[in-house]
């Protein structure tokens, strides 16, 4: 996979005639497309009648593309089962929490846990694997399409049975479940596993354990489906397997990709949301760190569907997107979609070519980005992304907990996005690391907004601190058990003793006039907060509460641990002052931890550091269209122009990029 930078587009040859397909191939060459993604919605094309499967036309497409020098990533078509699989079979359909049965006519309407679906999915995938799996030009597989993008938990009968089995295998006997969940509250006590409901309509709230675990159960079965499908492909094909996922979908990506070969995702972040675009790069690089990640879908100009449309990217932004993605570790940068949909539901989504075969709005931008790709390709292929020194833990699992207990409508994505943006804007290179990610090589670890910290995670973070790292835990982290209940030994369980603190109170800070002071700054405090007192001989208070309900207590403490330290952040400083305080905190601990992989790059511009045989390579990309600058720590070479650049200020133009070998 690594001998080129892939530049791809989603293609639907099954929807068009021979003439259009020919035309497409020629235009793909012109625009620099060297990878086509196809097949994710072709089940009814492959198997128009149950059991009559014909894969040959797609083998032919792959061969033709190959003849044009274009590789293929082939998708399994399980996201859109044909009508024969569901007509007259409501029991195979997803049932929403509100009781609505999802019907044929859109996508993702079938419950992926239904045994008959699994059987038919296995057959079609096996046939695809058999007939296409060895074709030259087939360079990768994508499983399904955006699993759980449109649906969250399914409440069908199949899921109900599996839920009971899952609970039984988790708890062994019903008494243990009752004890773990504390079902004595509200007389919920179960006599048998079959009585445990799915989290459907009730007059008031469900038990937190039930709701959170149902989400985790569903994430697990989704990953199980993917693993089952991947195993089938592997029997017939050496091509690596991925899935086009997202941080927005109802999956645990870490779990999902465990049985896959490389990480991929889709993103349609607008330019206004460009930090979310970069967050994706910094995350997916670390989901399967041994391989390049692929960006499998992004729009050439704007997203759209029948119901709405987004704002077109400004001229030039596409190149900045492509260059930054490649420099941050992408092995492929792919558009959705090549040719505008003539029918269906997404006719207003931007494409490279219109439904009538002409260049669409983003066409020239796509060509420009391709040219940029060709310029940077040799330099990126000769290097690998540098590991950051700062890691931020990313947890899809915590979304399950936070959805159950959102306090005041908190969203993990937005909380984490804000937290990430601050570090990005400070010019610190960073990795978003899944909970199970390796911590070796890092100097500073942030663990914000993770309700439940597993023993394994805590152990890993402690080893990290032991070895000299600084671990900053909180806000909102550690106060819940695996079963989404409270600890009964201390607010934050065993972590408190280790961190040298005792949590005096946990309570919501908003509206209490609480002020926190640290690093010479003060700011309002917010969120469901833990306020600390150091244990005797324990932590040092670095942030103190000066007003509100609990003045004198701490919201920020520091405890030496091995060669490193554990920092407890119990609350979230808020507003503009809170932002400054958090920046001071990050700055302080980055310095303490000896973080050097950072720069003074101006906001709106990003530095993407890589390493190669010949040293360090910085790709500097302007993302905001205003141009930017950064101080080079030493002289180097602009590898695109070949010119020497001295240490000191370096500028990039609007949406410009420079590759500097340092």
Active-site residues, by number, are 146, 297
Q: Least distance (Å) from its own copies to the CB of residue 580?
A: 25
Rounded to an integer, what distance in angstroms lies between the CA atom of residue 609 and that of residue 598?
9
Q: Smaller CB distance to its own copies: residue 97 or 577? A: 97
Q: Least distance (Å) from its own copies to the CB of residue 595?
A: 36
Q: Smaller CB distance to its own copies: residue 314 or 417? A: 314
Say whether residue 77 binds its own copies (CB under 8 A): yes
- Chain centre to alpha carbon of residue 246: 5
Say whether residue 302 binds its own copies (CB under 8 A): yes
Tokens of 535: 């244990």
Q: Which span (126-134, 222-230, 231-239, 339-347) binds its own copies, by CB under 8 A?
A: 339-347
Say whether residue 22 binds its own copies (CB under 8 A): no
Instruction: Check the CA dihedral 464-470-472-473 and report its sign.
Output: positive
**Of 80, 106, 112, 76, which Cα lies nearest the Cα of 93?**
112
Tokens of 320: 């900045």
Q: Which of residues 598-657 bind its own copies (CB under 8 A)?
A: none
Instruction: Check the CA dihedral 426-427-431-432 and report its sign.
Output: positive
Q: Smaller CB distance to its own copies: residue 99 or 537? A: 99
Element (H, E) at 530: strand 528-534
Q: From residue 391 to residue 420, what is the string marking binding to its own copies with x (rule CB under 8 A)?
A: -------------xxxxxx-----------
Q: Smaller CB distance to its own copies: residue 87 or 176? A: 87
Q: Which of residues 306-325 bind its own copies (CB under 8 A)?
A: 306-312, 314-315
**Of 244, 239, 199, 223, which Cα lies nearest the Cα of 72?**
239
Q: Which of residues 30-49 bind its own copies (CB under 8 A)?
A: 41-45, 48-49
Q: Least distance (Å) from its own copies to the CB of residue 410?
A: 10
Q: Smaller CB distance to its own copies: residue 431 or 496? A: 496
Q: Smaller CB distance to its own copies: residue 406 or 635? A: 406
Q: From residue 482 to residue 521, what is the string marking binding to its own copies with x (rule CB under 8 A)?
A: -x-xxxxxxx------------xxxxx-xxx---------
SS3 160: helix
Q: Which span (21-29, 335-343, 515-523, 620-628) binds its own copies, by CB under 8 A?
A: 335-343
Q: Least distance (Å) from its own copies to the CB of residue 471?
A: 23
Identified binder of its own copies from the candidate list 4, 53, 224, 347, rule CB under 8 A: 347
- Do the bridges between strand 138-142 and strand 241-242 make them parallel or antiparallel, or are there none, so unpaired? parallel
Q: Which of residues 560-599 bind its own copies (CB under 8 A)?
A: none
Tokens of 577: 């002052």
Q: Smaller CB distance to its own copies: residue 504 or 592? A: 504
Q: Least distance (Å) from its own copies to the CB of residue 197?
A: 5
For 158, list phi and psi in degrees, rounded to 5: -60, -45
Identified binder of its own copies from the candidate list 157, 224, 316, 344, rule CB under 8 A: 344
Q: Smaller CB distance to its own copies: residue 42 or 390? A: 42
Element (H, E) at 390: strand 390-394
Say whether residue 355 binds its own copies (CB under 8 A): yes
- Do the bridges between strand 515-518 and strand 564-569 make them parallel or antiparallel, or are there none, so unpaired? unpaired
Q: Which span (147-155, 371-379, 389-397, 469-477) binds its own copies, by CB under 8 A?
A: 147-155
Identified binder of its own copies from the candidate list 8, 133, 240, 304, rule CB under 8 A: 304
Rounded to an integer, what distance in angstroms lies between the CA atom of residue 193 and that of residue 455?
27
Q: Least distance (Å) from its own copies to the CB of residue 514?
A: 10
Q: Which of residues 358-377 bind its own copies (CB under 8 A)?
A: 358, 360-361
Q: Least distance (Å) from its own copies to the CB of residue 502?
A: 9
For 268, list phi and psi in degrees, rounded to 5: -125, 35
SS3 333: strand
Terminal Cα-to-Cα distance of the chain (whole angstroms): 27
Rounded to an integer, what distance in angstroms lies between the CA atom of residue 492 and that of residue 475?
11
Q: Smaller CB distance to its own copies: residue 92 or 379? A: 92
Say whether residue 236 binds its own copies (CB under 8 A): no
Q: From residue 534 to residue 553, what is the string marking binding to its own copies with x (rule CB under 8 A)?
A: ---------------xx---
Q: Which of residues 177-216 bind its own copies (CB under 8 A)?
A: 181-191, 195, 197, 199-210
Identified binder of its own copies from the candidate list 4, 160, 164, 305, rule CB under 8 A: 305
Rounded to an integer, what distance in angstroms lies between the CA atom of residue 175 and that of residue 156?
26
Tokens of 597: 């992989």
SS3 523: strand
Rounded to an integer, what distance in angstroms lies between the CA atom of residue 278 and that of residue 428?
13
Q: Least distance (Å) from its own copies to the CB of residue 454?
A: 19
Q: Least distance (Å) from its own copies to the CB of residue 496?
A: 10
Q: CA-based angle 59:62:64, to the nearest 5? A: 110
Q: Smaller CB distance to its own copies: residue 38 or 287? A: 38
Identified binder of its own copies from the candidate list 4, 150, 160, 592, rule CB under 8 A: 150
Number of residues that bind its own copies (CB under 8 A): 114
Rounded to an integer, what distance in angstroms lies between the CA atom of residue 43 and that of residue 49?
10
> Rounded to the nearest 10 degrees, how much is the dihedral formed by the CA atoms of 581, 586, 590, 592?
50
Q: Least distance (Å) from its own copies to the CB of residue 228?
A: 20
SS3 442: coil
326 burial (CB, 10 Å; 0-12 / 13-18 / 19+) is buried
* Residue that the structure tokens 């020239």 belong to: 364
CB-based contacts of 451-457 (< 8 A; 24+ apart in sequence): 451/398, 451/401, 451/402, 451/405, 451/476, 451/477, 451/478, 451/479, 451/480, 451/484, 452/397, 452/398, 452/401, 452/478, 452/480, 452/481, 452/482, 452/484, 453/477, 453/478, 453/495, 454/482, 457/393
Q: Least distance (Å) from its own copies to the CB of residue 43?
A: 5
Rounded to an integer, what distance in angstroms lies between the CA atom of residue 280 and that of residue 146?
15
Q: Which of residues 47-66 bind its own copies (CB under 8 A)?
A: 48-49
580 burial (CB, 10 Å; 0-12 / 13-18 / 19+) is middle
Q: Smaller CB distance to its own copies: residue 266 or 292? A: 266
Rounded to an integer, what distance in angstroms lies between the CA atom of residue 60 and that of residue 63?
5
Q: Which of residues 448-487 bind its own copies (CB under 8 A)?
A: 483, 485-487
Q: Least distance (Å) from its own copies to the CB of residue 499?
A: 16
Identified binder of its own copies from the candidate list 7, 171, 265, 528, rule CB under 8 A: 528
**Of 274, 266, 300, which Cα lies nearest the Cα of 623?**
274
Structural contact between residues 95 and 102, judged by C-beta atoms closer than 8 angstroms = yes
Cis ω before 337 (30° cut-off from 0): yes
Q: Which of residues 78-137 bind its own copies (CB under 8 A)?
A: 80-84, 87, 94, 96, 98-109
Q: Which span (77-85, 249-257, 457-465, 560-568) binds its own copies, by CB under 8 A?
A: 77-85
């Amino acid at each position: 996979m690594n001998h080129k930078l892939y530049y791809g587009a989603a293609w639907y040859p099954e929807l068009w005639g021979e003439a259009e397909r020919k035309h497409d191939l020629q235009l793909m060459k012109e625009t620099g497309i060297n990878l086509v993604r196809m097949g994710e919605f072709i089940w009814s094309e492959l198997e128009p009648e149950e059991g009559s499967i014909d894969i040959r036309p797609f083998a032919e497409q792959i061969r033709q593309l190959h003849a044009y020098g274009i590789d293929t990533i082939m998708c399994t078509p399980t996201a859109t089962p044909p009508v024969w699989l569901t007509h007259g079979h409501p029991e195979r359909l997803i049932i929403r929490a509100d009781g609505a049965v999802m019907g044929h006519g859109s996508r993702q309407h079938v419950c992926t846990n239904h045994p008959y679906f699994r059987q038919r999915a296995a057959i079609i995938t096996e046939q695809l694997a058999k007939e296409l799996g060895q074709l030259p030009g087939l360079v990768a597989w994508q499983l399904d399409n955006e699993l759980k993008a449109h649906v969250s938990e399914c409440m069908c009968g199949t899921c109900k049975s599996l839920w009971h089995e899952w609970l039984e295998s988790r708890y062994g006997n019903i008494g243990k479940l009752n004890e773990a969940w504390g079902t004595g509250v509200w007389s919920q006590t179960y006599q048998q596993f079959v009585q445990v409901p799915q989290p459907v309509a009730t007059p008031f709230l469900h038990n937190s354990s039930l709701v959170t675990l149902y989400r985790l159960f569903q994430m697990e079965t989704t990953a199980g489906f993917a693993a089952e499908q991947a195993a089938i492909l592997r029997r017939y094909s050496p091509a690596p397997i991925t899935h086009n996922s997202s941080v927005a979908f109802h999956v645990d990506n870490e779990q999902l990709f465990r049985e896959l070969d490389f990480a991929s995702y889709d993103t349609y972040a607008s330019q206004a949301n460009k930090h979310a675009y970069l967050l994706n790069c910094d995350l997916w690089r670390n989901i399967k760190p041994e391989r390049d990640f692929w960006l499998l879908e992004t729009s050439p100009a704007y997203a759209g569907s029948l119901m709405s449309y987004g704002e077109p990217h400004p001229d030039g932004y596409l190149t900045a997107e492509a260059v930054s993605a490649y420099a941050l570790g992408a092995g492929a940068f792919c558009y959705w979609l090549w040719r505008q949909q003539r029918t269906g539901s997404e006719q207003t989504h931007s494409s490279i070519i219109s439904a009538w075969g002409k260049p669409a709005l983003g066409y020239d931008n796509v060509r420009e980005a391709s040219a940029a790709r060709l310029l940077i390709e040799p330099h990126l292929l000769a290097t690998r992304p540098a590991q950051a020194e700062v890691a931020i833990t990313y947890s899809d699992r915590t979304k399950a907990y936070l959805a159950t207990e959102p306090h005041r409508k908190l969203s993990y994505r937005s909380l984490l996005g804000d937290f990430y943006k601050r570090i990005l804007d400070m010019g610190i290179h960073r990795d978003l690391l899944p909970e199970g990610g390796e911590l070796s090589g890092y100097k500073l670890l942030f663990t914000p907004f993770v309700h439940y910290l597993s023993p394994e995670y805590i152990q890993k973070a402690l080893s990290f601190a032991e070895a000299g790292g600084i671990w900053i835990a909180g806000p909102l982290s550690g106060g819940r058990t695996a079963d989404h209940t409270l600890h009964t030994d201390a607010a934050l369980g065993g972590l408190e003793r280790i961190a040298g603190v005792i949590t005096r109170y946990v309570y919501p800070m908003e509206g209490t006039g609480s002020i926190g002071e640290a690093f010479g700054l003060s700011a309002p405090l917010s969120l469901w907060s833990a306020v600390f007192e150091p244990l005797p001989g324990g932590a040092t208070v670095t942030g103190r509460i000066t007003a509100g309900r609990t003045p004198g207590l701490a919201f920020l403490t520091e405890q030496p641990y091995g060669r490193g330290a554990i920092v407890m952040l119990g609350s979230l400083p808020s507003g503009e002052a809170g932002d400054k305080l958090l920046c001071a905190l990050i700055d302080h601990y980055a310095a303490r931890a000896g973080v050097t992989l950072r720069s003074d790059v101006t906001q709106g511009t990003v530095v993407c550091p890589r390493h190669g045989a010949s040293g360090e390579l910085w790709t500097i990309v302007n993302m905001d269209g205003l141009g930017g600058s950064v101080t080079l720590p030493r002289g180097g070479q602009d590898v695109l122009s070949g010119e020497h650049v001295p240490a000191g200020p370096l500028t990039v133009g609007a949406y410009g990029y420079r590759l500097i070998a340092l």
